[in-house]
Amino acid sequence: MGAPIRSRLLDLTEPDPPGRERPEQVPQGRRSALLDFVEAAPLPRAAADERPAPKPGVPAYHTPVFVPAHPRSVAATGQDSRPARVPFVVFELFEHPALGTVTFAFTSLEKLVDALGEAQPWAATSLGPLAEGVREQGVTVLLDPRVKPGEPNWRPDDLAAYAREVRR
């Protein structure tokens, strides 16, 4: 084994003057000023505060949901001026006879599979941000919708074909 690797930073530091020893004590670590703000912040409000709670039967804002979605990408130019693909996720939209354009959200993966089939691609998110994001586009979220039985939206062959297309 060769000589140990020595940091080049040591070449740039000046040696201690003779007769002046370094203290053996470990310097006190710096404390983030952010912690001062956290400690000074008021405690979170109790559950029985004045904020409106969800109506009965309406899940809380942070409820995790499974949404029909799939990856997409767009051709772009990278930082090195070479062709690149920029990936993103697309939430699938459906037409509803009374509500217009909707997206489905399921409170369990089993409910999504039961409604749309095992080959359905999906993404997990929180209900609140999903609802806010699609509302800006005029889309309504249907939670745990009952889907008419029939052909699934995605079949295993569709996924295989999609995977081949994405790999190009």
Angle, CA of 23, 27 and 32, to the nearest 5°: 165
H or E segment to which residue 30 belongs: none
Taking the model in full, what pTM does it have?
Answer: 0.60
What is the number of other CB atoms lying within 10 angstroms of the CB of residue 33? 7
**17 falls in which pLDDT band (50, 70, 90)?**
low
| SS3 state of residue 125 | strand
Using an 8 Å Cβ cutoff, are 115 and 73 in contact? no
**9 falls in which pLDDT band (50, 70, 90)?**
very low
Reading the block at residue 58, the tokens are 């309406």
In sequence order, the 6+-apart residues with CB closer than 8 A to the CB of 94 are: 101, 102, 103, 104
SS3 content of the chain, % helix, strand, coil (to 5): 25, 25, 50
Using an 8 Å Cβ cutoff, are 62 and 127 in contact? yes
**156 falls in which pLDDT band (50, 70, 90)?**
confident
Taking the CA atoms of 96, 99, 102 and 107 in sequence, report the sign of the dihedral they define. negative
Q: What is the mean pLDDT of the chain?
A: 75
Give the rounded percent of residues in the chain with a pLDDT score beyond 90. 26
What is the number of other CB atoms lying within 10 angstroms of the CB of residue 125? 19
